[in-house]
Amino acid sequence: MSLAGAWVPGVSAVPITLLMVVYVTGWARLHRRDPARWSWWRLSCFGGGVAAIAVALWSPLDQGGQWLLSWHMTQHLLLSMVAPPLLLAGWPFMPLMQGLPRWIGVGLLGPVLAWPALRGVLARLVHPTVAWPLSVAVTWAWHLPPAYEWALTGSVPHALEHACFLWSGILFWWPVVAPWPWQGAWPRWSMAFYLLLADVANTVVAAVLAFAPGVVYGTYALTAPALGVDPLEDQRRAAAIMWLPGQLLFLVPAVVILARAGRRRRPARSVALPVLRPRRPARFDLLAVPMVGAVLRHPNGRLSLRMGVMVLAVLVVLDGWLGPASAATNVAGTWPWTHGRGLAVVAAVAVGNLACMGCPLIAPRTLLRRWIRPRRRWPSGLRVKWIAAGLVVAWLVAYEALGWWDSPWLTAWLVVGLVLAATVTDLLFEGAAFCQWVCPVGQWNMAMAVAAPLQVKARDLQVCERCATQDCLRGGERGPGCGTGLFVPRKTGSLECTWCLDCVTACPHDNVALAAVVPLQESLLEGTRSAIGRWRDRTDFATLLLVLGAGGLANALLMTEPVVGWVEGVGWAGSGALRAGLITLASIAVLLAWPALAACVGGSWRERWAGLALDLWPVGASVWLVHFGFHLASGWASALPPLQRAAMDAAGLDLGEPRWSAHCCATAPAWLVPAMLVALASGLVASLWLCWTRAVRRGRPVTAVADALVALGWWMVAAWLVLQPMQMRGLIA
Amino acid sequence: MSRMLLTALAVLSTRLACADGGVPIDSRMVGTERVTLLMTPARPSVGSARFTLLGHGGGPVEIQVRNGDHRERTALEAEPGRPGLHAQLDFAVEGPALVTVHAGAATEPLLQSEVTVGPQATAWMARWPWILAWLPMLGLVTLREWLLARRLHSTQEHGASKIP
Ligand code: SF4
């Protein structure tokens, strides 16, 4: 057995990578401001700590530790004596807080971390008189044979054991490392004795193992010999690891502390707290990022983006018409349904409405409008979202009833139909009439971007106040204004914004940004919204949002095997596909009935319905994210084989042998279902928070109960469907 | 405070990362070598279980599960980067099951163990920590709201007391 064996990062790769990314982001910010304090040394220490955890948990040490005590001891040493001091020596508090998005670090965690009661408990936990006995107790208790054997019986007790070592290790090393800006209660030299005493306690366990006449842990008596290792020899090796390297890990810092204490006889300078001036970091602006910003700002840059996607759409259409009828082997059967939707939803939640920005549907109209200028305005009677809401329902029903996902030919016609509809509408009517009032995909993109971290915003509102031309809205010499009627300084949120960035080109003051915002911040805004008006009066908008939420659940339900089996078994209403369409319609109606009933409680139904639409949207959006994200994560490898097949069939181009096995037999990654449940949990908590906050602001906290029940109901349906076996649509069964 | 973040993330990691080596269910000396059979999970339920054979010198080995009327037999095979021989088998029904390991053409089993199979673990049972992930999140948000409301309340009281 060797460390070069199988490394299994598993699900832990996600939080560990996130932890490192947050630290590095924060450290980089601090390093720019004060490179002497936030040196490379700090980064290396923290990186070393994270690496020690990774080696302990991902390397063959983890599995080998269950068969050899010496390996298990090494793993524990890494978790309790190597990782904690290194992590703490990276002075993690400020980098982690700086690295988190401001709304999480300051907005969400700030009040909790400033809570005196919590600070008091934490201060006590890291006090030497608590941290020392706690750490010794943990080490001794887990080395008692019943506890140690229990930890070997399964992954949960094993994980608990590791968590105890890591937690107690962090508490133990805290007063020793004294991560800045924390200041210890005891003089530094006393930490040398603290470490020496811990070394004695450690030595006791090591000595018991070293001098025991027999094997202490029965499991190893069976497993070690099977690997050709004498169990008693293995036990003595483990004791030696605990004794010698363990002793070094205590004694070296003790000597260093004593040496430093001897050198520095002057009292420490009185400055105990950070010397860094707290500075609000500049708001992130995607348009200010080199290269990316330049491409996005230029109208031709954006047009090239759309033309690029248009080329992919042409490929989809051609293969849909000319390629095989089997969806799994056709570009039109995989790219739009498995990859396109997945990438759009991930981009919406991670960045913003990139799907509308790169939408190929508006590429032809953008080009044709250079010669044909539309003269008509979209009829005022149709300036409502009812058509779009109806089209969303029709889309979802047709998707099931006509089996779009299963028919490349229909998919190709769908793409062509959408391009024609968008081009004709937008050559007849001014602005972005198709995107705003018709396109069901666009409505979905704009709604998803409500949870996005970036938004089109005015850089400096004072500049807008001095501006007399309002080119971002009306257009001017530099280009057309906003096609959906949004006035950038009064724009609130992402609804109605297609990220076309025409306003960026039109603004003569270069005052439009794609700026970092708090996701969902628009949900609680009262008052008038640009291009929308007063939200509580817009039942059409609210209904569209609720239809999208309920539709997401209905659409995902029809993917689960129990529901598919039930639909196939129902003996009415024609073909299975038609039944699926009707069931989609019925599911949407039932799911909409819940908020409709809740809206009857507490005040004007219209106002409550509008509020509920915004409050329930986080659950609805999380369902879409989970659904399409699942297809993307489990089917991403299915993008290449249809392309290879199409290239060979159409042009005799050899792009390699299609690996259809990557298509059908890839197992979903282990982290996928946990990640899906965490995404749903985040949506639910956001919805519950909105329900409560809105109810309190309206002075009717009781209504929050009804609203929360609807949110919980939707979440329960979503959680149920995540745990069902899925029908892998568009992939080879 | 960073401890909180660190430890929360670290605990999350440790919970998830555990590769399971299994528990020994039978072991015996074969000549001068000890051969041990391990099973994961420690308490099997209806569904699949993984078996690892350590210490076998060489030659083909098969493992069989007899569980009610259900019988399944498969070869134990080496896997890259992992010591021992491995196989995955299914327990079909609740109750006792006999697991036997046969080396080559020998009629006598090399190892044999009777295990008790529990009822099938539902997806809900297997995923409950993730299903309930919203509870600690909600706890954090509620605590934040309470602290902010308390701060606002005390600010108002403080402000009111200043009014003569
Ligand atoms: S505000 Fe209007 S012009 Fe600007 S990106 Fe959004 S839709 Fe386009």
Is 80 exceeded by the pLDDT of residue A731?
Answer: no
Cβ proximity of B91 and B47 under 8 Å: yes
Sheet with strand B33-40: strands edge to edge? B23-30, B33-40, B47-54, B82-91, B77-79
A357 lines ligand 1 (CB under 6 A): no
B138: which chain A residues are within 8 Å (Cβ-Cβ)? Answer: 685, 688
The token pair that represents A693 in the structure block: 């906050």
Q: Is the pLDDT of residue A329 over 60?
A: yes
Atom of ligand 1 nearest to the CA of A491: 1
pLDDT digits over A382-422, tens only?
A: 999 999 999 999 999 999 888 888 899 999 999 999 999 99
Task: Specify if A524 maps to a domain.
Answer: yes
> Which pLDDT does position A452 carry in this prediction?
93
Residue A161's alpha-carbon distances to A239, A674, B16, B133, B159, in angstroms, are 18, 22, 13, 21, 51
Q: Which residue on chain A is closest to B7 by alpha carbon?
A: A167
Q: What is the mean pLDDT of residues A270-292?
A: 65
Same domain, A459 and A581: no
Q: Which domain holds residue A426?
A: 286-529
Judge if A452 and A309 occupy the same domain.
yes
pLDDT digit string (tens) for A222-245? 888 888 889 999 999 999 998 888
Q: Based on the domain organization, do A633 and A679 belong to the same domain? A: yes
Please give the Cα distance from A703 to A706 (Å, whole number): 5
Kindly state whether residues A506 and A555 are assigned to the same domain. Answer: no
Let me know if residue A383 belongs to a domain: yes
Q: Which residue of B has its CA nearest to A123?
A: B1
3-state helix, strand and coil shares in percent for chain B, rounded to the nearest 5 = 30, 40, 25
In 3D space, the residue among B68, B66, B65 whose CA is nearest the CA of residue B51 turns out to be B65
Determine the distance in angstroms separating the CA of A227 from the nearest CA of chain B, rounded to an integer: 5
**A444 shares a domain with A558:** no
Q: Are residues A341 and A441 in the same domain?
A: yes
> Cβ(A447)–Cβ(A623) under 8 Å?
no
- The complex's ipTM works out to 0.85
Please answer whether residues B86 and B77 qualify as being in contact, where contact means their C-beta atoms are separated by less than 8 angstroms. yes
- Say if A733 falls within a structural domain: no
Q: Which of B23, B82, B130 sits opposite A153 (nearest CB)?
A: B23
Q: A327 pLDDT band (50/70/90 cuts)?
A: confident
Ligand 1 centroid, distance to A284 Cα (angstroms): 18
Q: Which amino acid is at A135?
A: S
- B81:A674 CB<8 A: no
SS3 A228: coil
Does residue A9 form part of some domain?
no
Q: Does the CA dihedral A418-A419-A422-A423 come out positive or negative?
A: negative
> Ligand 1: which atom is nearest the Cα of residue A488?
1
> CB of A513 within 8 A of CB of A461?
no
Let me know whether A497 and A554 are in one domain: no
Each domain of chain B, given as residue ranges in start order, spans 16-121, 133-164
Question: Residues A86, A46: contact at Cβ < 8 Å?
Answer: yes
- Are residues A543 and A391 in contact, defined by beta-carbon separation less than 8 angstroms? no
Least Cα separation, residue B53 to chain A (angstroms): 9
Same domain, A237 and A340: no
Domain membership of residue A120 (yes or no) is: yes
**Residue among A18, A111, A222 minimizing CB distance to B36:** A222
Is residue B5 over pLDDT 80? no
| Banded pLDDT at A664 (limits 50, 70, 90) | low
> Whose alpha carbon is nearest atom 8 of ligand 1?
A500
- Once rounded to an integer, what is the mean pLDDT over residues A630-653? 89
Mean pLDDT (chain A) is 88
pTM: 0.84
Report whether pLDDT(A427) > 50.
yes
Same domain, A602 and A643: yes
Cross-chain Cβ contact B130/A163 below 8 Å: no
Q: Do A685 and B123 touch (CB under 8 A)?
A: no
Q: Assign domain B16-121 to its CATH superfamily.
A: Immunoglobulins (2.60.40.10)
Residue A654 inside a domain? The answer is: yes
Please indicate, yes or no, whether residues A174 and A252 belong to a single structural domain of this protein.
Answer: yes
- Three-class SS state of A290: coil
A373 contacts: CB under 8 Å, gap ≥ 6: none
> Which residues in chain A are contacts of B143 at CB distance < 8 A?
112, 115
Check residues A270 and A324 and name the one with the higher pLDDT.
A324
Count CB-CB contacts under 10 A for residue A275: 8
Choose among A53, A70, A55, A63: nearest CA to A206.
A70
- Cα angle vertex A297, ends A294, A300, to 5°? 95
User: pLDDT digits over B35-64, tens only?
Assistant: 888 888 888 888 888 898 888 877 888 999
pLDDT tens, position by position, B116-135: 888 887 778 778 889 999 99
- Distance (Å) from the alpha carbon of B164 to chain A's nearest alpha carbon: 30
Q: What is the C-alpha separation between B5 and A96, in angstroms, rounded?
A: 8
**Cβ separation of A723 and B123 shorter than 8 Å?**
yes
User: Which residue would you say has higher pLDDT here, A269 or B102?
Assistant: B102
> Is the same domain home to A497 and A391?
yes
* A618 and A702 part of one domain: yes
Most A CBs within 10 Å, among B4, B5, B7, B13, to test the A interface: B13
Residue A660: which H helix or E strand, with range? Answer: helix A660-664
A455 alpha carbon – ligand 1 mean position (Å): 10
Report the number of secondary-structure helices (H) and strands (E) in chain B: 4, 9
Scanning A429-475, the segments in alpha helix (DSSP H) are: 433, 440-448, 461-466, 471-474
Higher pLDDT, A347 or A188: A347
Q: How confident is the model at residue A667 (pLDDT cuts 50, 70, 90)?
A: low
How far does CA A386 lie from the centroid of its chain? Answer: 32
Helix %, strand %, coil % of chain A (to 5): 70, 5, 30
Specify the amino acid at residue A30: L
Number of domains in chain A: 3
pLDDT for A431 beyond 60: yes
CB contact under 8 A, A6 and B81: yes
A377, A430 contact by CB (below 8 A):
yes
A234: closest CA of chain B, how far (Å): 15
Residue A32 included in any domain:
no
Give, using CA atoms, the residue closest to atom 7 of ligand 1: A497
Spatial CA neighbour of A248 closest among A199, A187, A312: A199
Ligand 1 contacts CB of residue A165 (under 6 A) = no
From A529, A559, A584, the end of a domain falls on A529
Per cent of chain A over pLDDT 90 is 60
Assess contact for A626 and A715: CB atoms under 8 A.
no
Long-range contacts of the stretch A412-420 (C-beta < 8 A, 24+): A412/A316, A412/A317, A412/A318, A412/A319, A412/A320, A412/A321, A412/A332, A413/A320, A415/A313, A415/A316, A415/A317, A415/A320, A415/A332, A415/A336, A416/A317, A418/A361, A419/A313, A419/A360, A419/A361, A419/A364
Q: What is the pLDDT of residue A662?
A: 62
CA quadruple A356, A360, A366, A367: dihedral, nearest 10: 160
A484 Cβ inside 6 Å of ligand 1 = yes
pLDDT tens digits along A62-92: 878 888 899 999 999 999 999 999 999 999 9
Q: What pLDDT shows up at residue A6?
A: 67
Whether the CB of A503 sits within 6 Å of ligand 1: yes
Residue A322 located in a structural domain: yes
* Residue A344 to residues A52, A358, A451, A493, A675, Cα–Cα distance (Å): 36, 10, 13, 18, 18
